[in-house]
Amino acid sequence: MSTTTMGNEVVHSADATKALASSLAGTIVEWYEFFVYGIAAALVFGRLFFPSFDPLVGTLLSLSTFAVAFIARPIGAAVFGHLGDRIGRKSSLIITLSLMGGATFLIGLLPTYDAIGIWAPVALVIVRIVQGFSLGGEYSGAVLISVEHAGPGRRGLFGSIVNTGSPFGLILANLAFLALSALDEPQFLSWGWRIPFVLSAILVVVGMVIRARVSESPDFEEVKSRAHLVKTPLFETFRDYKGRLILLALAYVGAGTFFYTSSVFSLSYAQHLGVPRGEMLILVMSAFLFLAIAMVFFGWLSDRVNRKMIFVVGAAFMTVAPFIWFSLLDTKSFGLMLLGFIIMFVPFAANYGVMPTFYTEVFPLKVRYTGMAIGYTLGTILGSATAPLMGTYLLGATGNWYAIAGFMGGASLISLVAGACLSVVPEDPDAAIALRRVSLER
C-alpha cells in the first residue's frame, strides 16, 4: 500500500512540476512581449509614431498606446475566463499565448509615421489591443493551472514562482534593449528597436511546446466530473460576487502602480536625471532579479503564515517606500539607486508575491477563473495603465518626484484597505475530499 501511494505521489508531483514549468514559461514569454512594448513606448515610439508633436506630448501619446491595452484586458478576461471555467484552463492558455506572440511579432514589422502617416499609430493601437486582450486571460489562467496542481501546502510557493514570470520577462526585455545600446541613435531608430519584437517569435514557440504538454487542472477536472460547471460564469460572477470583484480590483491598485512606475516610468525618469539609458536598464534588471527571489520567499512563507496578513502588511509599508526610492534615485549613484529599489521592493515582494494564491482563494471554484481574471484586469486599469502616464504627467507639471511618490503611496493605501476587506471563500468539504482522492489516483 505504501509503495502504491508513494508511486502515485511521485506521479502527482511530476504533474504539478510540469504545470508549474508550463505556467512560468508562458508567463515569462507573455510579460517579455508586454514589457518590450513598454520600453519601446518610453524610448522610441513617441518619435517614430507621433513625430509631429512636442517631445513631452509625443511621449505621453506613446505611453497612451501602452495604456490602451489595459482597456482590452477585461474583455479578454471575460472571454478566456468563460472558456477556462467551461472547457478548461489549458485550452484557454494556448490561445492567449498564440495571440500575444502574433501581435508582438507584427509590431516589429509595422511601418512608422514617416512611411504611412496617421495609419502608423492606428495600426500600433490595434495590435496593442490584441496584446491586452490576450494578457487579460493569460495571467489568471497560468496562476490557476499551477496553483490547482500544487495541492495544499505548496500553493503559495507555486503562485509566487508563476509571478516571477513578470520580473523575468522584464529582465529579458531589458537585456534585449541593452544589447542594442551599442547602436548609434539613427541605427536604433531605423531598425534596432524592431529586433526584440521579431525575436519574440522564438520564445513563443518554446512556450507553446512546454505548454502543450501540461495536463488539465485536477480542480477543474473534479468540478467537471461532478457536473458543477457553470453555464454562464460571467453572469453568475457579477450576480453573486460583484463585491469581491470590486475589492480584488482595488486590492491590486498598489502593486500595479509600483510595478509599472518602477519598470516603465523609471526609464523616462532616468532621462530626466541625466542617467545613461544603459545604466538604468542594468539597474532595473538587478532590482527585478532581487524582486523575483524575494517574491518566492514570501510565497513560501505564506504556506506557513496567513497569506492575507502578508499581503496587507506589504501594502502598508508600500505607502512610504516610494519616498525613500525617489530620494535615493536623485543621488545618481548606482549603489544608492539600487538600494532604493531594494528598500521599495521588500514590501512590494511581500504584497505581490502572495497575491496570486490569495486571489485564487476569494472566489469559489466554479467561477474562479472568471472572477479572478476580471477582478485582476479591472485592477490593472485602475493602477497599471495609469502609472507611467501619471508619472510622466506629474513630472512634467511639477518638475519633481514628490507628487509621484504621493500617488504611489495613495494607491498602496487603497490596496491596504481593500485587501483587509477581502475574505477567503470557505472550502467545500465534499470537493476537498474528492480532490484529495483524485490526487492519490493520479
Long-range CB contacts (within 8 A, 24+) of 402-407:
402/326, 404/261, 404/265, 404/322, 404/326, 405/322, 405/323, 405/325, 405/326, 407/257
Instruction: Return the ∠ at Cα 348 (arms to 279 and 402), rounded to 5°.
Output: 65
CATH homologous superfamily of domain 2-216+232-441? MFS general substrate transporter like domains (1.20.1250.20)
**Under a CB-based contact definition with an 8 Å cutoff, are residues 156 and 20 in contact?**
no
The angle formed by the CA atoms of residues 400, 401 and 405, to the nearest 5 degrees, is: 155
Contacts of 105 (CB under 8 A, 6+ apart): 197, 198, 200, 201, 204
Q: How far apart are CA 275 and CA 99, in angstroms?
A: 36
Q: Is the dihedral of CA 23, 24, 25, 31 positive or negative?
A: positive
Helix spans in 108-230 (H)? 113-116, 119-150, 155-163, 165-179, 185-190, 195-212, 218-225
Query: If you search the block for the grid coordinates 501619446, which residue do you land on?
Result: 61
Reading the chain (442 residues) residue by residue, the pLDDT tens digits are 333 333 444 445 777 888 888 888 888 887 887 778 877 877 777 778 876 655 655 566 666 666 677 778 889 999 999 888 888 888 888 888 888 888 888 988 999 888 888 888 888 888 888 888 888 888 888 899 899 888 778 999 999 999 999 889 888 887 888 788 778 888 888 888 899 888 888 878 887 888 888 878 788 787 777 756 778 888 999 999 999 999 999 999 999 999 888 887 887 788 888 888 778 878 988 999 999 999 999 999 999 999 999 999 999 999 999 999 999 999 999 999 999 999 999 999 999 999 999 999 999 988 999 999 999 989 988 887 778 778 888 888 888 899 999 999 999 999 999 999 998 887 654 444 444 444 444 4
Contact 309, 212 (CB under 8 A): no
Largest interatomic CA distance in the chain: 75
**Collapsed DSSP state (helix, strand, coil) of residue 300:** helix
Q: Which helix (H) or strand (E) holds 217?
A: none
Cα–Cα distance between 417 and 440 in angstroms, integer?
40
CA distance 284 to 278: 10
Would you list the domain boundaries of the chain?
Answer: 2-216+232-441
Contact 22, 210 (CB under 8 A): yes
Which has the closest alpha carbon to 358: 402, 401, 420, 400? 420
Q: Is 424 left (phi over 0), alpha (psi -120 to 50) or beta?
A: beta
Phi-psi region of 199 (alpha: psi -120 to 50; beta: other; left: phi over 0): alpha
* 83/90 Cα distance (integer angstroms): 10
Whole-number pLDDT of residue 61: 64
Q: Locate cell 506572440: which residue?
A: 101
204/99 Cα distance (integer angstroms): 10
DSSP string, 174-189: HHHHHHGGGS-HHHHH
Classify residue 164 by its DSSP letter: T
The predicted structure's pLDDT at residue 439: 45
The number of CA neighbours under 13 Å toward the Cβ of 263 is 32
CA pseudo-torsion sign 393, 398, 401, 403 = negative
Burial class (CB in 10 A: 0-12, 13-18, 19+), 276: exposed
> What secondary structure, in 3-state letters, does 42-71 show?
HHCHHHHHCCCCCHHHHHHHHHHHHHHHHH
299 Cβ contact list (under 8 Å, min separation 6): 156, 157, 158, 159, 160, 161, 163, 353, 354, 357
